[in-house]
Amino acid sequence: MNTTIKKSLVMLVSGLLLTFNTQAKENPNKTTTIGVNVVKEIKNQITFPNFIQETNHTEEVKVVFTVNEIGKVNLVIANTNNTILKQAIETQFLKLTLNQLKANHTYGIQFNFKTI
């Protein structure tokens, strides 16, 4: 039961602390915005692995990704020092299809979460 509560808290706090970078650069003079619906879709489909056992632990993950012509994520780089979290996030992102985004643009989103 204690593990379930911790896992629920991690998921709850991660959802509450989700922040995102809404600019995706096509070139230095043009930007594209990730809409609120896309952010919600990403947030609903990405889960964090249950590897954090200690309390008051924080993680920040910056994710950069691109999509192809049909919206399927075709390149993703998760920037974190935690290799387990990096692999989990990148694997999940590669399964996403985000039809609302433009192909050949670079998008970024940042996840912040904390156990309490």
Q: Where are the domains of the chain?
A: 2-114
- Provide, rounded to the nearest whole percent, the portion of the chain with pLDDT above 90: 46
Q: State both tokens at 57.
A: 């632990």
Residues 6+ apart with CB under 8 A from 2: none
Are 59 and 88 in contact by the 8 Å Cβ rule? The answer is: no
Please state, in angstroms and rounded to a whole number, the distance separating the CA atoms of residues 23 and 20: 9
The SS3 call for residue 16 is helix
Q: Residue 32 pairs with which residues in a beta bridge?
A: 24
Say whether pLDDT at 15 is over 70: no
Fold of 2-114: 3.30.1150
3 vs 73, residue with greater confidence: 73
pTM (predicted TM-score): 0.69
Q: What is the mean pLDDT of residues 10-38?
A: 51
pLDDT digit string, tens, across residues 57-109: 788 999 999 999 999 999 999 999 989 889 999 999 999 999 999 998 999 99
Q: Which of 1-5, 42-46, 87-91 has the highest mean pLDDT?
A: 87-91
